[in-house]
Amino acid sequence: MALLGISNLSLHFGQRAILDGVNLTLEAGEHMGLVGRNGCGKSTLMKLVAGLEAQKPDTGQIQLARTATVGYLRQDPKFDPTHTLRQEAATAFAELFSLHEQLEKVSHDMADAAGDELDKLMKRYERIEHEIEAAGGYAVDHRIDETLHGLGLTDEFFNVPVTGLSGGQKGRLALAKLLLSEPDVLLLDEPTNHLDIAGRQWLEQFLAGYRGAVILVSHDRWLLNRCVDKICELEAGELVEYPGNYDKYRVLRAERYVAQQRMYEKQQTKIKQEQAFIDRYRAGQRARQAQGREKRLERFVSGNLIERPMELDSMNLRFAPATRCGDMVAEANKLTMRYDGKTLFEDFDFKLERGDRIGIIGANGMGKSTLIRCLLGEQPPTAGTTRLGAQVDVGHYHQTHEHLPLQTTVVDYLRKFVPNQAEQPARDLAGAFLFSGLEQDKPLGTLSGGERSRAVLAGLMSGGHNVLVLDEPTNHLDIPSAERLEEAIAQFTSPPSSYSGGTQQKSSDGTLLLISHDRMLLENMVDQLLVFEGDGTIRHFPGRYSEYIEYQQTQRNTQADAAKPKPAAKAKPKAADPKPASAKKSNNKSSRFGHMNQQKLEARIEKLESRLRKIDAELSDSAVVRDGERIKSLQSERETVQAELTPLEEEWASRAEE
């Protein structure tokens, strides 16, 4: 039976149809990505499912399976102000802790009970124990810590009052609580907003093993590619379903657009032909026939008209540097920056050359933006020197937009970036960045964060710069806008061969420095990485993001292999002893392993150690951590294996001393 069923759901805000006959079914274990332009109604649909939308739907219904729970990631989380971060995260298990208290009370009552009363208490004890296991068992502390760490909330923040947390930390705490509660239907609305790359990677692994149903609204295409098995696009109030991940959706949507366009054109041709006949024979001998065909045409248009399909994103503008800079764009020598006793980077040597496409990645707060400011001469370093090359013209996109003239309209703002400040080229530029119709005449101050970002990027891309420095440019962009940005960058500078968005054109000499947590943007736009490693070191990696991930995995595998204990070397036989040491019995007559020769002893030790490593690996698996029965079984087995291994190791050490 489906966990969630939505049938014929409609909702209007005034004359605007937000949802128009939406239908959806979700089974347990099914993960769905919900996509669409900003403001199309994705969050409204999620809130209706969660029961949080104030306005009731006009028609239709939402059905949940009996006893199914729904969890929704709120953008404005409410916390108990008396709690620390760790205490607030633990409230996800409030029901479990209550069960533990009940179990303790029943256990206390059993000590003084007898007869029928004791039997009743024992049955209740068993029932509560079963409920405890179903609710997560006894391994919740490990799960809480693992989840907080995975989302970038380290031990140093555990005792910080929730009132002292930053907005980003509160957002991650809210996500941690939701994931720990493990609802049957998990509704995630932009869960990566406050996550760096490491946090996004952890979330991917968590969702990959999640057994409930998931609806994921995200601008992170990399996440959608790896965590969903179908995409539903909300377009003009209608929900259109596509099987597969985001890349598959892109292909299927393009095919659907072509088919719709053909149907639309065929229908328009038929309408024009019918109208031409009606106009030609409206008077005369065939007037009655013309009148009949006119009535049929009116019925056809009113009931069967196919709407023109929404245009797929395509860029028709060309962005190129106005002037060519020298071969050397920027250079750093022994660059060092320390702040509040923390070393962000030290003795960093770097050379940026014309045409380079470099991504800068690392955890939040490591100094990525600071490095950029130092390179551009906007901030003095603690030590070292920097310099810019000849004829370098930098276009710098900052994360904040305090500099914007908020009373200026979009088209007037963009006029200063086009030749002769002409209005029509400015409107063409606005349209290329998804501003259509009346949106072009809105003041910047009335726009959303994503719309302002698009306006700034449009001006920046067409400003004639030969170097682009983009600091988290997709933070406020929906997927169509992010793909539009990729297309513009691809026209500004030569993209990696893997770039698949839009029409590839001849390369230019534009240079790109990109700070981003958007892994798809990094993958498509850069072919080198500067990686902040957290100890003041910046690693230069010559390759795309996917190649860096493969490199990391290879490094982990190598370290794991190196950490594996090697079998002990066999002792060489003594010259006076005709028997090899491996065949000798232990001189310790009281040893219970005297019957085992050295070879068998070492083989048994190696087998037990191997099993311990496998158990530890399972215990750290996020999917296993959520299975209380499995956790107890593994912990019990580990104790048994360790109990057998310890005396064997003592026996081996004893023999080695002889």
DSSP-assigned states of every residue in 40-56: SSHHHHHHHHHT--SSP
Token output for 207: 């969702």
Confidence label for 175 from pLDDT (cuts 50, 70 and 90): very high
| Residues 393-414, mean pLDDT to the nearest whole number | 87
Confidence label for 516 from pLDDT (cuts 50, 70 and 90): very high
- In order of 118, 201, 628, the CA distances from 123 in angstroms are 9, 44, 21
| Residues 429-451, mean pLDDT to the nearest whole number | 85
| Residues 440-454, mean pLDDT to the nearest whole number | 87
Instruction: Output the domain CATH number for residue 523.
Output: 3.40.50.300
Residues 56, 57, 62, 67, Cα dihedral to 10°: 0
Which of the listed ranges 366-375, 479-488, 491-500, 573-582 does the model predict with the highest average pLDDT?
Answer: 366-375
Residues 429, 434, 436, 442, Cα dihedral to 10°: -80
Residues 506 and 598 in one domain: no
Q: Which helix (H) or strand (E) holds 552?
A: helix 545-563
Residues 629, 631, 633, 638, Cα dihedral to 10°: 180
pLDDT tens-place string over residues 45-68: 999 999 888 788 999 999 999 888
From the CB of residue 262, how many other CB atoms can be counted at a distance below 10 Å?
A: 11
Residues 333 and 299 in one domain: no
| Distance between CA atoms of residues 358 and 351, nearest Å | 11
What is the 3 state secondary structure string of 82-105? CCEHHHHHHHHHHHHHHHHHHHHH
Of residues 170 and 577, the one with the higher pLDDT is: 170
E strands in 201-253: 213-217, 230-235, 238-243
E strands in 227-310: 230-235, 238-243
Q: Which helix (H) or strand (E) holds 471?
A: strand 467-471
By the 8 A CB rule, do 551 and 541 touch?
A: yes
Token output for 277: 């006949």
| Distance between CA atoms of residues 174 and 74, nearest Å | 8
Token output for 350: 């770097």
Residues 275 and 364 in one domain: no
Taking the alpha carbons at both ends of the chain, their separation in whole angstroms is 67
Strands across the sheet containing 342-353: 342-353, 328-339, 383-388
Residue 144 lies in a domain: no
| Residues 378-401, mean pLDDT to the nearest whole number | 90
Confidence label for 620 from pLDDT (cuts 50, 70 and 90): low
**pLDDT over 90 for what percent of the chain?**
37
User: Taking Cα atoms as reference points, which of 402, 345, 385, 387 lies closest to residue 368?
Assistant: 345
pLDDT tens-place string over residues 102-159: 777 777 777 777 777 777 878 877 787 777 776 666 667 888 899 999 999 989 999 9
By the 8 A CB rule, do 514 and 343 touch?
A: no
Residues 543 and 499 in one domain: yes
| Distance between CA atoms of residues 390 and 394, nearest Å | 12
pLDDT surpassing 80 at residue 507: no
Provide the β-strand partners of residue 426. Answer: none
| Residues 18-31, mean pLDDT to the nearest whole number | 92
| Distance between CA atoms of residues 104 and 97, nearest Å | 11
Q: What is the predicted pLDDT for the residue at 581?
A: 39
Confidence label for 586 from pLDDT (cuts 50, 70 and 90): very low
User: Taking Cα atoms as reference points, which of 144, 163, 164 lies closest to residue 155?
Assistant: 144
Residues 633 and 525 in one domain: no
pLDDT surpassing 50 at residue 628: yes
pLDDT surpassing 90 at residue 209: no
User: Taking Cα atoms as reference points, which of 71, 333, 111, 340 lies closest to residue 214?
Assistant: 71
Q: pTM for the complete prediction? A: 0.73
Of residues 650 and 223, the one with the higher pLDDT is: 223
Q: What is the predicted pLDDT for the residue at 508?
A: 56
Residue type, 581: A
Q: What is the predicted pLDDT for the residue at 503?
A: 41
Residue 177 lies in a domain: no
* Phi-psi group of 537: left, alpha or beta (phi > 0 → left; psi -120 to 50 → alpha; rest → beta): beta
Residues 513 and 607 in one domain: no
Residues 351 and 299 in one domain: no
**pLDDT over 70 for what percent of the chain?**
87
pLDDT tens-place string over residues 354-374: 999 999 999 888 999 999 999
From the CB of residue 333, how many other CB atoms can be counted at a distance below 10 Å?
A: 13
Q: Collect contacts of 221-230 with beta carbons under 8 A, ≥24 apart.
A: 221/246, 221/479, 221/482, 221/520, 222/518, 222/519, 222/520, 222/523, 223/192, 224/33, 224/35, 225/520, 227/31, 227/33, 228/31, 228/32, 228/33, 229/30, 229/31, 229/32, 230/30, 230/31, 230/32, 230/33
Number of folded domains that form the chain: 3
Residues 389 and 470 in one domain: yes
Mean pLDDT for all residues in the chain: 83
Residue 261 lies in a domain: yes
Q: What is the predicted pLDDT for the residue at 160?
A: 93
Residues 490 and 596 in one domain: no
| Residues 247-252, mean pLDDT to the nearest whole number | 92
| Distance between CA atoms of residues 304 and 326, nearest Å | 61
Residue 480 lies in a domain: yes
Q: Which of 170-184, 299-313, 574-588 has the lowest mean pLDDT?
A: 574-588
Which of the listed ranges 209-223, 248-262, 456-470, 590-604 does the model predict with the highest average pLDDT?
Answer: 209-223
Residue 169 lies in a domain: no
Residue 384 lies in a domain: yes
Residue type, 366: M
Residue 370 lies in a domain: yes
pLDDT surpassing 80 at residue 633: no
Of residues 624 and 289, the one with the higher pLDDT is: 289
| Distance between CA atoms of residues 275 and 424, nearest Å | 34
Residues 549 and 648 in one domain: no
Confidence label for 579 from pLDDT (cuts 50, 70 and 90): very low
Q: What is the predicted pLDDT for the residue at 126?
A: 79
Confidence label for 489 from pLDDT (cuts 50, 70 and 90): confident
Residues of the domain holding 294:
249-304
Residues 498 and 613 in one domain: no
Residues 272 and 350 in one domain: no
Q: Report phi then psi at 200, rounded to 5.
A: -65, -40
Residue 652 lies in a domain: yes
| Distance between CA atoms of residues 43 and 193, nearest Å | 15
